[in-house]
Structure 1
Amino acid sequence: MNTLRKALLAALVGAALLPMANAQAADIKERTLKFASAQAADHPFSLGGQRFAELVTAKSGGKMKAKLFTGGTLGGDAQVISSLQGGTVDVTFVSPGLLSTMDKDFGIFYVPMAFNDAREADQLVDGPFGRKLLDKLPAKGLVGLAYWENGFRSITNSKRPIHKWEDLQGLKMRSIQIPIFLDIYKAVDANPVPLAFTELYAALESKAVDGQDNPLPTIETGRFYEVQKYLSLTRIVYDPLVVLFSKKTWDKLGADEQKLLAEAAREATAYQRQVNREAEASMVKSVTAKGMVVNELSAAERDRLRDKLKPVGDAFVKGLDPAVVAEFNAELAKARGASKTAAK
């Protein structure tokens, strides 16, 4: 073995042993954390959770473990948030809409068609604006560790393709249980029906509702192609994913353990986003092969939909902290400028 190869091998071995060495030097106790996912084991959410668990084990030298419970076995998102606040579940991830029921400013992500692409959203949530929102959570019994990705939400239904906003008129559409989504569907003369995700498949199957909106990976792993004929790529809202920890559990941890968990959540972020975006890219072909009819809104119809929904967004932000709205808009403008520069 030549000198260069010996040096490379030594570096790799050292890197592999570093987490364990750090764990032995740090104050890390034997713990098993309960990590809840409402999604299937092969969903990008759960895959991100699995990567987080692997990082926790590696960084702690095997002392700390995160056991992942998938498929909603620990309850729906709202129930799991309550369990985190009570300290009976330790980790989960949720869309900010659920957090907006505790702090309305989290709902700003749901202003319709606010983001042009995921890169803009990344810069916003990974910067000072995203951090300021997370800093609001300890008062609610939660600790925000990172932002992963849910993605752009598109519409499926069992009645017809959505080529223009008028095609939504009269459809019974499942809505996330937050006011702005009800207002979005009311604005296009649809009939919103608030439902938890764990109840959604059965409602679609029984025709209690005609359709729903979700990011593409959730549409596939939720097997909605079995009960929905049409997928329309409306992308009306970009939905981040907030990684949450129980404050009751967090407060029992030492500083080294807290640092380890925060690092694991942040380091899993790039992987989870990559997996989610790869799933989006492959999902359209997959569900088309399974019989779904897929269409993309034209640029002109997207502009018409944006104009139709603008009063919803304008009315919604009036109920938020004006300083939060101003900072959101300022940071989004910066992100747009950075995106344009990168594209040149």
Structure 2
Amino acid sequence: MGTTMGKHISYTLKAGIATLGLALLAGGAAQAQDIKERNLRFAFSLAKDHPLGQGAQKFADAVAARSGGKMKVSLFPNAVLGSDQQNLSAVRGGTLDFTSMATGIVASLDKQFMVFDLPFLFNDAKEAYAVTDGAVATRLLDGLQAHGLVGLGIWDLGFRNMTNSKRPIVRAEDMQGLKMRVISSPIFIDLFTTLGANPLPMTFGEVYGALESRAIDGQDNPVAVIESAKFAEVQKYLSITRHVYTGMPFMMSKKTWDGMSADERKVIRDAAAEAKTEERRLTQQKEAQAIDGLRKSMQVNEVSEAEMLRWRQKVQPVVDKFSREIGEGVVKDVNAELTRMRGAK
């Protein structure tokens, strides 16, 4: 009888283990079913070999890896689907899933994003990253949901520098009368007007042609953009001014996001964080290389520290004006973050 009882217990135990195993398998299958086959689209204005394009590829690869190949992200670089403004509208409307563009353009939806475009706000990339990952930026990104967007972090375009076909920009006075393309943002228009230039708002896709035809004299962008866009073919002078830092909010359509499961959203968030880290690393690496590369085909000059101090003083009225427009609370919060950081150095 003892043997029979033992066999019965053994059988019951095995059956229980088998049932538990099936339940775990079923649970795993149910979990896997939370990730659907999806074909998503990510459009941006920069070249595929630019650090932002490489960051976009990293995001696509990470989404595929984290979803077991179920979620696919196709990339559309070089403004092939439209300008930044058109991409922004498409993402808000749900006909495009992802885009990334300068904070100055996102400011057309929420003017508080202009805080990141204040001239000479950041001393270096470390400060810029700390603030664009900080409490103020998180609050602004969360606020994009009201505009049909989900903010997934702020990528790095870098510090902007001037190029033109007329002369080296050594002093602020050298800006006088230059027809300069600017992004379509009030702060950029006022900044270049204050420096004595004639600012012409223009989408990025139009810039090369306008430089080539001499419809404009110059433009401003980080050196990695200047290099990947091949502006050296149509511009003679590069002046290292680092006058504005440009962050690139990475945004997703809220319509797409709202249709996703918790598991799918985790895939997107984790892949976005991974891609942001890689994109920033590539931007830093590229900046050093790009200046050396551009020296071979352009006349490159640095602007002295003493002259940069004059620039800062000259554009202070622009900083004061837009600080009021952005909202002094937001500007105060950013300045407080910077003060804390600089005090800790």
Percent identical: 50
Correspondences of 1:61-72 after superposition (within 5 Å) = 61-72=68-79
TM-score scaled by length of structure 2: 0.90
Q: Given the alignment of the two structures, is residue 295 of structure 1 paired with residue 281 of structure 2, yes or no?
A: no
Matched, 1:312 2:313: no
The TM-score with structure 1 as length reference comes to: 0.90
Per-residue deviation, 1:79 = 0.4
Asked if residue 153 in structure 1 is aligned to residue 160 in structure 2, the reply is: yes
**Cα distance in 2, alignment partners of residues 22 and 156 from structure 1:** 56
Offset at residue 335 of structure 1 (A): 2.4
Other structure's SS at 2:156 match: strand
3-state DSSP of counterpart to 1:72: coil
Evaluate the alpha carbon distance shift between residue 22 and residue 59 of structure 1 in structure 2; reply closer, same or farther with a 3 A threshold.
farther
Q: How far off is 1:331 after superposition? A: 1.1
Pick closer, same or farther for the CA change 1:256–1:209 going to 2, 3 Å.
same
Structure 1 residue aligned with 2:49:
42
Deviating 4+ runs (over 3 angstroms):
21-26
Return 5+ residue gaps in structure 2 as ranges: 1-27
Task: State the shift of 1:23 in Å.
Answer: 10
Aligned partner (choices 197, 205, 213) of residue 204 of structure 2: 197
For the residue of structure 1 that corresponds to 2:244, the secondary structure is strand
Give me the whole-angstrom Cα distance separating, in 1, the residues matched to 2:326 and 2:191. 17
Give the whole-Å Cα distance in 2 for the aligned partners of 1:254 and 1:207: 51
1:239-290 deviations in Å (ceiling 9; x for gaps): 111100001111111111112101110111111001111110000111111x
- SS of the residue corresponding to residue 67 of structure 1 reads strand
Secondary structure of the 2:55 match is: helix
What one-letter code is carried by the residue in structure 1 that aligns with 2:329?
A
Corresponding residue SS for 2:151: strand
Q: Which residue of 1 aligns with 2:114?
A: 107
Residue 25 (structure 2) aligns with: none
Rounded Cα–Cα distance in structure 1 between residues aligned with 2:287 and 2:90: 31
Q: Deviation digits for residues 155-198 of structure 1, max 9, x if unmatched?
A: 00000000010000010011110111111111111111111101
1:128 aligns to 2:135 (yes or no): yes
Deviates more, 1:134-143 or 1:314-323: 314-323
Question: Using the alignment, how far apart are the partners of 1:317 and 1:39 within structure 2?
Answer: 29
Q: What is the alpha-carbon distance in structure 2 between the residues aligned to residue 198 and residue 226 of structure 1? A: 16
Q: Within 5 Å, give how 1:14-93 maps onto structure 2.
A: 25=32, 27-93=34-100
How many Å separate the matches in 1 of 2:85 and 2:63?
A: 25
Match of 1:256 in 2: 263
Indicate the structure (1 or 2) with the bigger Cα radius of gyration: 2
Give 2:125's match in structure 1, choosing from 118, 121, 125. 118
On the 8 A contact 1:156/1:231 being kept in 2, the answer is: yes
The separation in 2 between residues aligned to 1:92 and 1:151, in whole angstroms, is 18
In the alignment, structure 1 residue 139 sits paired with structure 2 residue 146: yes
Give the 3-state SS of the residue equivalent to 2:36 in structure 1: coil
1:280 alignment counterpart: 287
Query: Is the CA contact 1:23–1:59 (under 8 Å) kept in the aligned structure 2?
Result: no
Q: 1:148 to 1:320 in 2, by over 3 A?
A: same
Question: Does the CA contact (< 8 Å) of 1:233 and 1:297 recur in 2?
Answer: yes
* CA RMSD across the alignment: 1.4
Q: 1:24: Cα distance to partner?
A: 5.8
- 1:337 aligns with 343
Residue of structure 1 in register with 2:217 after alignment:
210
Shift of 1:336: 2.1
Distance 1:136 1:283 in 2: 35
Which secondary structure does the structure 2 equivalent of 1:309 belong to?
helix
1:300-328 residue CA offsets vs partner (Å, 9 max, x unmatched): 01111111111111111111222212111
**2:196 aligned partner, one-letter code:** D
CA contact (8 A) 1:137 1:144 kept: yes
Q: Distance in 2 between matches of 1:52 and 1:276?
A: 15
Q: Could you tell me how far apart the structure 1 residues matched to 2:142 and 2:265 are? A: 15
Specify every segment of 5 or more residues in structure 1 that has no aligned partner in the other structure, as ranges.
1-20
**Is the 1:124–1:335 contact (alpha carbons within 8 Å) kept by the matching residues of 2?**
no
